[in-house]
């Protein structure tokens, strides 16, 4: 497979880190971002050029713009944009969750995706190529008690992605991707020790990374799920 330039948010832990490792292992160039300065420094030290990792809070439009501008200047438009960054709140009935916490999860999980699209997709369109993967969830297609804000954000990602797919030029793709159930810090926040029954991110990535790399314009507007095996 021809080497691709991949922009990826939320690269320092969980699925984002596993995808970063998987993409790089397959010969692709990753330009990623996340909030944790120490972990970003560690990624830059570990992988080095041509890969590039930067501190960025996707909830902050100005921060995303700075990251996007620097990444585009370094490598040009991405062939693949993966909007992965997201947070989870501690499980609770909706009426017990603080307004500031609800605002934060909306800002990261929804606005963060919008910011990345705003500052990167025009360059992809100008380059005439690109696939945009917005990471969704099983809770973007179903619901559960005590995780209402997270469900709301991922249902929003599903709708946002389908609308975006209708706006993109022919030959592009926007895909909402349910990764499946993986043993991550986010899942442990909800399910505690029960999360250990599910695959670790590195094992998940052996299936997910090739699956994502196969996505193309034929998948535009589809709501997909990483195959379990």
Q: Which residues are catalytic?
A: 150
- Strands across the sheet containing 5-9: 52-55, 29-34, 5-9, 80-83, 131-135, 173-178, 223-225
Continuous H helices in the chain: 14-25, 37-47, 61-75, 99-106, 112-127, 148-167, 185-191, 201-213
Burial class (CB in 10 A: 0-12, 13-18, 19+), 59: buried
DSSP 95-125: GGS-HHHHHHHHIIIIIHHHHHHHHHHHHHH
Residue 183 phi/psi, 5-degree rounding, is -75, 85
């Amino acid at each position: 497979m021809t080497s691709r330039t991949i922009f990826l948010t939320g690269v320092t832990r969980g699925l984002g880190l596993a995808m970063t490792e998987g993409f790089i292992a397959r010969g692709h160039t990753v330009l990623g971002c996340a909030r944790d300065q120490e972990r970003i420094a560690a990624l830059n030290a570990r992988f080095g050029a041509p890969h590039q990792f930067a501190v960025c809070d996707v909830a902050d439009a100005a921060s995303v713009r700075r990251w996007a501008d620097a990444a585009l200047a370094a490598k040009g438009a991405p062939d693949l944009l993966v909007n992965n960054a997201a947070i989870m709140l501690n499980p609770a009935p909706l009426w017990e969750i603080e307004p500031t916490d609800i605002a934060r999860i909306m800002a990261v999980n929804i606005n963060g995706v919008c910011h990345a699209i705003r500052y990167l997709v025009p360059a992809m369109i100008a380059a005439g190529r690109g696939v945009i993967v917005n990471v969704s969830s099983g809770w973007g297609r179903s619901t559960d008690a005590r995780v209402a804000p997270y469900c709301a954000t991922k249902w929003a990602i599903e709708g946002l992605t389908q609308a975006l797919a209708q706006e993109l030029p022919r030959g592009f793709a926007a895909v909402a991707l349910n990764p499946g159930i993986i043993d991550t810090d986010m899942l442990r926040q909800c399910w505690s020790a029960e999360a250990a029954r599910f695959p670790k991110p590195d094992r998940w990535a052996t299936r997910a990374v090739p699956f994502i790399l196969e996505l193309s314009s034929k998948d535009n507007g589809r709501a997909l799920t990483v195959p379990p095996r």
